[in-house]
């Protein structure tokens, strides 16, 4: 879709629309570039404060995925004024503001419109050294792939909407979605990696496909190595699955080779549309043990080596 729009050729654009990266990067000086991204979502859980925190963690994540540090943010709000009490909006914005503060950044304004369905997210601006930008388009053959949060959030939030998820599972999913990717990004910057993306709406394999096609490589993933929230398996086996997850799998048809042992449910888990998922990092193999050690020391929710980058076959191979 974007390919039909006019292209911009300002030489200071370090990361723009040529690749499917998480955020735009614009060089200001030899030593400084700004990173900017916008993201907004519809509510994923009932609690408005938690919704705000999830949306903010999700928006901040695209800055962390570029190896950058967020400095300030603007709210983007759609709200059905007159249909929902204003205290709901206040709680959403409070959840977002507290999360941005936790990230060491500030909310400095925003814009709202009357909208029948509530929506919330942020424009986030960050800073990075121009030579230290981490894109999703520089993975190298032989890199290990490391994931920093468990999968299953799309299936679980669909279960929550259908009142099929236990209170414990709801708490766990909110905890995962409101956890910032800041410490994972710190570990990745310290160790030095080749590529990174966060795992959100296109699911693990959709975002991995953006990375492999952008980098001109292939990948192999082992399902048993991928961290998954246990109740996501229970729910998907009952047939609970968001439409977006099924569309992700369809969009990858012909691009993924599934080993015969991978069940329908396993395929859906790997394509599950995440909100505020973890970082997917391509790290040179000699550094991957150090990265995992640093992630574990930072207590990230997962620190799993889930596969590797292989020579370009135009395919992602999924093995048990
Ligand atoms: Co992203
Ligand atoms: Co995003
Ligand atoms: Co990126």
248-265 tens-digit pLDDT? 999 999 999 999 999 999
pLDDT of residue 5: 80
pLDDT of residue 7: 83
Distance between Cα 94 and ligand 1 center (Å):
23
Ligand lying nearest the CA atom of residue 206: 1
- The tens digit of pLDDT for each residue in 122-133 reads 999 999 999 999
pLDDT of residue 20: 84
Q: What angle do CA 19, 35, 197 make, to 5 degrees?
A: 50
DSSP per residue, 170-198: HHHHHHHHHS-SHHHHHHHHHH--SEEEE
Q: Which domains does the chain have, with CATH numbers?
A: 2-132 (3.30.1330.10), 144-319 (3.90.650.10)
Distance between Cα 120 and ligand 3 center (Å):
22
Distance between Cα 23 and ligand 3 center (Å):
6
Q: Could you tell me which residues come within 8 angstroms of residue 150 by beta carbon, excluding any fewer than 6 positions away?
A: 176, 227, 228, 229, 278, 301, 302
The bridge status of strand 195-198 relative to strand 279-283 is: antiparallel
Q: What percent of the chain has pLDDT over 70?
A: 99
Distance between Cα 182 and ligand 1 center (Å):
14
Distance between Cα 278 and ligand 2 center (Å):
12
Distance between Cα 79 and ligand 2 center (Å):
21
Distance between Cα 136 and ligand 1 center (Å):
10
Distance between Cα 85 and ligand 1 center (Å):
32
In which residue are the tokens 């492999």 written? Answer: 212
How many helices and strands, by DSSP H and E, does the chain display?
Answer: 10, 13
Contact predicate 78/112, CB 8 Å = yes
- The tens digit of pLDDT for each residue in 225-239 reads 999 999 999 999 999
pLDDT of residue 19: 80
pLDDT of residue 2: 60
Distance between Cα 262 and ligand 3 center (Å):
29
**First-to-last CA distance in the chain?**
35
Ligand lying nearest the CA atom of residue 136: 3
Residues with pLDDT less than 70, the chain: 1-3
Tally of residues, the chain: 320
pLDDT of residue 138: 96
Distance between Cα 273 and ligand 2 center (Å):
12
pLDDT of residue 3: 64
């Amino acid at each position: 879709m974007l390919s039909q729009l006019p292209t911009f050729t300002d030489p200071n654009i370090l990361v723009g629309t040529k690749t499917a990266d998480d955020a735009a990067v614009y060089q200001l000086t030899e030593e400084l570039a700004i990173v900017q991204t916008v993201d907004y979502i519809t509510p994923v859980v009932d609690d408005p404060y938690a919704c705000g925190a999830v949306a903010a963690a999700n928006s901040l994540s695209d800055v962390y995925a570029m190896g950058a540090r967020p400095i300030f943010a603007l709210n983007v709000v759609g709200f059905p004024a007159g249909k929902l009490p204003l205290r709901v909006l206040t709680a959403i914005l409070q959840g977002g503001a507290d999360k941005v503060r936790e990230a060491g950044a500030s909310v400095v304004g925003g814009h709202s419109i009357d909208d029948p369905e509530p929506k919330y997210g942020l424009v986030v601006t960050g800073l990075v050294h121009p030579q230290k930008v981490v894109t999703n388009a520089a993975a190298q053959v032989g890199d290990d792939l490391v994931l920093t949060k468990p999968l299953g959030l799309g299936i679980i939030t669909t279960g929550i909407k259908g009142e099929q998820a236990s209170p414990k599972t709801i708490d766990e999913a909110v905890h995962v979605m409101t956890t910032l990717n800041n410490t994972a990004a710190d570990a990745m910057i310290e160790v030095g990696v080749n590529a990174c993306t966060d795992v959100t709406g296109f699911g693990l394999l959709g975002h991995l496909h953006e990375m492999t096609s952008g980098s001109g490589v292939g990948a192999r993933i082992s399902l048993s190595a991928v961290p998954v929230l246990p109740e996501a398996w229970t729910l998907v086996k009952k047939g609970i699955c968001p439409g977006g997850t099924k569309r992700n799998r369809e969009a990858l048809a012909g691009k993924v080779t599934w080993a015969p042992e991978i069940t329908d449910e396993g395929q859906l888990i790997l394509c599950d549309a995440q909100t505020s998922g973890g970082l997917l990092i391509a790290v040179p193999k000699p550094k991957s043990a150090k990265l995992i050690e640093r992630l574990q020391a930072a207590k990230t929710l997962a620190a799993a080596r889930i596969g590797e980058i292989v020579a370009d076959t135009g395919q992602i191979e999924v093995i048990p």
